[in-house]
């Protein structure tokens, strides 16, 4: 499925046959400590850097009014971020997964992002625009 906006993701989550829980990892893009000149150039051109998770949250799709509301809520945490990675956890027999069921999958997401496996997830920049990783 090709997402053109965060709203597309929300809409798709509402159309799933089982209730969903959205898993979100907010991350910062940083320049590596011992960056080379080439890495600095790519970073300054917004084409490189190290992705570091800073916080994560899980929510039912109905708890998210819009990307702007999510971004405003995230500002209250005091954690600066550049990218939000999103995955979905499906329920069973008409019952949506709860927060306790999201803990392990969220940790999986953080580990995957730390290991560079970012293309496994939907990703959006601070403006809510979808990001694509090659």
Q: Is 94 left (phi over 0), alpha (psi -120 to 50) or beta?
A: left
Query: Average per-residue pLDDT in the chain?
Result: 91
What integer pLDDT is reported at residue 133 of this predicted model? 79
What integer pLDDT is reported at residue 112 of this predicted model? 95
Q: What is the pLDDT of residues 1-16, one digit of tens each?
A: 578 899 999 999 999 9
Report the C-alpha gap between 129 and 104 in whole angstroms: 27
Q: What is the pLDDT of residues 43-75, one digit of tens each?
A: 788 777 889 999 999 999 999 999 999 999 998
Q: Is the dihedral of CA 29, 30, 35, 38 positive or negative?
A: positive
Q: What is the pLDDT of residues 81-107, one digit of tens each?
A: 999 999 999 999 999 999 999 999 999
Q: Is the pLDDT of residue 40 over 70?
A: yes
What integer pLDDT is reported at residue 88 of this predicted model? 95
- Using 50, 70 and 90 to split pLDDT, how confident is the model at 132? confident
88 closest CA partner among 20, 11, 7: 20
- Using 50, 70 and 90 to split pLDDT, how confident is the model at 134? low
What integer pLDDT is reported at residue 1 of this predicted model? 56
């Amino acid at each position: 499925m090709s997402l053109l906006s965060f709203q597309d993701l929300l809409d798709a989550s509402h159309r799933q046959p089982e209730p969903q829980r959205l898993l979100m990892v907010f991350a910062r893009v940083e320049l590596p400590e011992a960056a080379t000149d080439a890495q600095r150039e790519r970073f300054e051109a917004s084409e490189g850097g190290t992705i570091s998770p800073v916080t994560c949250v899980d929510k039912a799709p109905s708890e998210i009014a819009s990307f702007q509301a999510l971004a405003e809520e995230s500002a209250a945490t005091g954690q600066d971020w550049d990218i939000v990675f999103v995955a979905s956890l499906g329920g069973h027999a008409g019952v949506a997964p709860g927060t306790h069921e999201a803990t392990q999958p969220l940790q999986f997401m953080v580990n995957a992002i730390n290991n560079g496996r970012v293309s496994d997830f939907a990703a959006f920049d601070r403006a809510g625009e979808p990001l694509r990783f090659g």
